[in-house]
Structure 1
Amino acid sequence: MAMSAPSGGGGRRRGRGSHRAPISEINVTPLVDVMLVLLIIFMITAPLLASAVPVNLPETRAKPMDNEEQEPVQLSITADETIYIGEEAVNEAELPARLDAIARADEGSERPRSIMLRADKNIVYGRVAWVMGELNRAGLTRISMVTTGSDSAP
């Protein structure tokens, strides 16, 4: 006669889900997803908040302004200290009169003409300062210094 020993489970079958051990690790994938979404939101909105100054702007029916500016005047000083306006050489005595003529031509405009000052790097600083002083005396104050790029930082 054969006898069977009780299985101890009361005839119930033990499945995979009946006795689970608690998970000792935290799943960080949803946390990383939320943090990346927040990072992207802050990256997009931060520049907008920093550059906007709260101003109540008036309404207008005026036409948009034409943004085209006049061609800038090229003023160059070469290594031998010759001064050029455009491609025409100008001596030191006639420079003030020429600058006055440029300033008078721009008297009625809202945006005065800009001056692109190109000076050789080997000339004396005093020469450039004198030319800038003459530009200022004539009322031409929108001066841009033209330089070349450098591969190394100073």
Structure 2
Amino acid sequence: MALNLPSQRGRGRRAPMAEINVTPLVDVMLVLLIIFMVTAPLLTAGVPVTLPDSRAKALDQDQKPLVLSLDGEGKLFLDKDPLSEATLPDVLAQLAAKGDPAKPPQVFLRADRKLDYGHVMRVMGELNRAGYNRVALVTVGQDGQ
């Protein structure tokens, strides 16, 4: 049985504590992690679309893509702004005139899984006609993103 007796030299003085209490640091980091996990899905708020599943991996981005969305009712949105199919060719032509013709931006097409294939293909045809040939169909990957 060992006893830890104070020495005669350090009588009345305490030795400095050489340990760091990491419990508060871990608590703060866990709270921040929870906050980021809750708020991250809210940062990508847009048009509510039920995307199809896919096993494809995500694409690398070099510039901000143009996002076209088709919701479950067939309504068309450019980013978050509603758009009619009749005005789509004119809007795409205006965007193409503003951009660099040598390198058009990538287009993300988000279409609800309940939509008719022909409806999605009409929008893709208008994109191709306007010169947007880099079209990516957005899906939900294996990890839910």
1:137: which partner in 2? Answer: 129
Q: Deviations over 1:86-144 (max 9, x none)?
A: 00000111111011111111245x42111000000000000000000000000011101
1:85: which partner in 2? Answer: 78
The separation in 1 between residues aligned to 2:93 and 2:62, in whole angstroms, is 20
Name the count of aligned residue pairs.
83
The separation in 1 between residues aligned to 2:78 and 2:138, in whole angstroms, is 14
The separation in 1 between residues aligned to 2:142 and 2:117, in whole angstroms, is 20
Q: Which blocks of at least 5 consecutive residues in structure 1 are unaligned?
A: 1-67
Q: Which has the larger radius of gyration?
A: 1
The separation in 2 between residues aligned to 1:94 and 1:135, in whole angstroms, is 12
- The question of whether the paired residues in 2 share the 8 Å contact of 1:76 and 1:119 is answered with yes
Higher RCO (Cα < 8 Å, 6 or more apart):
2
Q: TM-score, normalised by structure 1?
A: 0.50
Aligned ranges for residues 65-76 of structure 1 at < 5 Å? Answer: 69-76=62-69
The separation in 2 between residues aligned to 1:121 and 1:140, in whole angstroms, is 23
Across the aligned residues of Structure 1 and Structure 2, the Cα RMSD in angstroms comes to 1.7
Using the aligned pairs only, state the percent identity. Answer: 39
Q: TM-score, normalised by structure 2?
A: 0.53
1:106 corresponds to which letter in structure 2? Answer: G
